[in-house]
Structure 1
């Protein structure tokens, strides 16, 4: 578990460092290309969740994120799940706490990653832009995707074992 705490702290540290850097070096009205026509940086603020859902519920969302993130850490400490489940939950916890820290420190979440392709796809499909995001968001989304994928994979493997072993 000490290694997991180190990873948890490193993810939050990278997230917070990039947010501080973004506040110092980015503007809200100018893109800084990272990979031309693929990924850019731009400073934005969010007082809600993805796509600015629940805008204005900033403090409630911060408390919820902190409770979820720390609750997951307690679960990992006590129950010690293994493999992908452990890593997935660790990513989700770090992302939740990272965005909660923003709200408690700045009063809003700081976002900076702009994906040109994702923006174009969601604009064409739904008439809505893809949200600008940060490292904490990447942790939550990748952890959730890994957790869902592993649970689907595990369920199929367990079912196959039960059928062949019966």
Structure 2
């Protein structure tokens, strides 16, 4: 099987996994609902955000949300073009698939922003319905991104001898994110750890 065919299957599979999980969360849980997966350190906790990574909120308003969505679409188009360029140049397979991970992560979250507001009603104090009679909760490009992966590895008070934060109550790791965010993070880490020579070699 050619690299191109493997890449297409890879991208479709990753996008399917991301969207199936998000749609299940959206149609089975309300905002704030959670359940434990492994003890207290890995939970599924449903939140939504306006498009920032790792559950971070964006208060930029409707215009800012539209601009953010358009910027992401342009960025994804640029990544897609670069992947095609790498294929033509017969770049290392690992480099191509690392960029494909970033590509899938960006598309996964763009799908939420573009379509979820049209396809679902909101999840506050209710479980959302697919294609509700009254219409969705937001117009095109204004949907919220579904996040659910929560890893509170440590929750408690820090020892008093720690400078500045000693005695404070903390949760580590606090951000709540989704599978698409994970794709982006893994892709970037792979490029940094294993494929720096590819880029430095090209510059040389």
Assess if the C-alpha contact under 8 Å between 1:26 and 1:41 holds in 2.
Answer: no
Q: Number of matched residues?
A: 154
- 1:143 aligns to 2:143 (yes or no): no
Alignment of 1:12-31 (within 5 A): 12-31=15-34
**Matching of residues 30-109 of structure 1 within 5 Å:** 30-50=33-53, 52=56, 54-56=58-60, 57-80=64-87, 81-106=91-116, 107-109=143-145
Q: CA deviation at 1:72?
A: 1.6
On the 8 A contact 1:65/1:99 being kept in 2, the answer is no
Alpha-carbon distance, 1:7 to partner: 0.9
| More helix as a share of residues | 1
Alpha-carbon distance in structure 2 between the residues aligned to 1:21 and 1:61: 26
Q: CA RMSD in A?
A: 2.8
CA displacement at 1:35 relative to structure 2: 0.8
Moved over 3 A (4+): 53-57
Report the CA distance between 1:140 and its aligned residue: 0.5
Which protein has the larger Cα radius of gyration, Structure 1 or Structure 2? Answer: 2
Runs of 5+ consecutive residues of structure 1 not aligned to the other structure: 159-166
Question: Compared with structure 1, are the counterparts of its residues 90 and 59 closer, same or farther at alpha carbon in structure 2 (3 Å cutoff)?
Answer: same
Matched, 1:116 2:152: yes
Unaligned runs of 5+ in 2: 117-142, 159-164
Look up the SS of the partner of 2:97 in the other structure: helix
CA distance in 2, matches of 1:146, 1:11: 17
SS of equivalent residue, structure 1 residue 116: coil
In 2 relative to 1, CA 145–16 (structure 1 residues): closer, same or farther, beyond 3 Å? same
Taking structure 1 as reference, are residues 120 and 55 closer, same or farther at Cα in structure 2, changes over 3 Å only?
Answer: farther
Query: Does the 8 Å CA contact 2:86/2:96 hold for their aligned counterparts?
Result: no
